[in-house]
Structures are given as C-alpha cells and as structure tokens.
Amino acid sequence: MKILVCDDDHAITDAIEIYLKQEGYQVAKAYNGLEALEALKDNDIQLILLDIMMPELDGLRATLKIREHSNIPIIILSAKTEDTDKILGLNMGADDYIAKPFNPLELLARVKSQLRRYTSLGASPEKPSTFRSGGLVLDDEAKEVTADGDPIKLTRYEYSIVRLLLTNAGKVYASDQIYEQVWSEPPINTENTVAVHIRRIREKIEINPKEPKYLKVVWGIGYKIEKLD
C-alpha cells in the first residue's frame, strides 16, 4: 500500500517516511496542497497524511478538492490543537486528526486503523442488499446512496452512519453508540465528532436540512432515520 505524506516541513515528511517504510508501506511525498493533488494523479494512493498550514494550497482546501472525486482516507496533521480546528478539518471531509508533536506509534496505529476501515468498506458483501426509507435508498453492493433519485456523495464515515441508521430505520442511536459502531473505538468525548458528520449528511440528503425528512434528532437521546414507506 502507498501512503502520501504532505507537509511543508521536509524533516517531518522524512521522519514519517521512515516510520511508514519500517511497517512495509510505500511512501510518496509532497510539500504543499497543489503537489499533493498532482501526486494523487500520478500514484495509486490508499491514504493521505496532510498538514494544514502549507503554502500554495493549505490542507483544508486540499481536502475539499480531494473530496470532490475521492473518499480516500485523510488524516490531518497540524500543530493546532483547538477543538474548533479539529471540527473544521472533519467538516471539510477529513477522517481523523493528529496534533503535532505526535507519538510515532499513535500515528502508525491510526494509519492502520484507517486502512482497515477503507479496505473493509471497499469489500463486496456476500449478498447484494438495498435498504430504503421513502426516497432515501442505500445500495450496499455498489456502496451508493440516493435521495429522491439524486446520487449523494458521502465520505466513508458518513456512509457508515447512514447505513447503520437506515438498516435500523426508526431506532434511535445515541452519539456514543454511533461512534462505537462506526469508528470501532471506545466512545470518549465523541458528541461533537458525531454531530459534525450528522450535519454534513443532512446537508447532502435533505431538501431542507432545518426541517429534515429523513435524519431526525431525538433531543436528549440521539439520532434516527425515519421509517418511511
């Protein structure tokens, strides 16, 4: 598997390259967002480690551009540690966030976790399955979602949340339950992360996100997708 490491600090990219190669990964390197986009065209990349503060094109805008055509896992690397910066990165379409300075073992663990999920999501199920609630349809074989006939582009986590709620239409899930099942990690201070993804899903599947037809909040409890005929 090949991983793209993008950071304008050459010492950081070189260090990460050493860690990754020791684990058997191939590495491509870039030093700004524009170079990262070019590297994606020229290489078969399975995951991106992307700094936020870079010249030419920063990591957040690069993430937006990548999400226009790809659901490849993106882990944001940044010296910024404020929750608002983390939420902004997730809201732009990143899958995870690691603050600098980081522990190399934690970085490798997160890389492996994202690659496992990416590979798992890309695998074909044994039997094709289609799940529906009204005009919201999820084709789990093609990994496609449509809302009222319109195709919806979802990130891997957004897709997994929709799948969880749609296959259990009418059932309410708390934020912790969603996080534990979708991220496969213990739910610790996860409410904001889940809320960000729920908001992004609503913006994509609802005609009017402020008056949702499908994805509802059950105040004080959690979220559900309505069971519609």
Cis status of the peptide bond prior to 101, with omega within 30 of 0: yes
- CATH fold of 130-225, please? Arc Repressor Mutant, subunit A (1.10.10)
Each residue of 18-77: pLDDT tens digit? 999 999 899 999 999 999 999 998 888 999 999 988 888 988 889 989 988 888 999 998
Tell me what the pLDDT averaged over the chain comes to: 88
Domain spanning 2-122, CATH class: alpha beta
From residue 60, give the alpha-carbon distance in Å to each of 91, 97, 102, 180.
Answer: 10, 12, 19, 26
Residue 197: what residue type? H
CA 175, CA 190: separation in Å to the nearest integer? 7
% pLDDT > 70, the chain: 93
Confidence bin at 184 (pLDDT 50/70/90): confident
22 CB burial (10 A radius; 0-12, 13-18, 19+): exposed
Domain boundaries, the chain: 2-122, 130-225
- Condensed to tens digits (0 to 9), the pLDDT of residues 80-102 reads 666 666 777 788 889 998 888 88
Is the whole-model pTM more than 0.75?
no
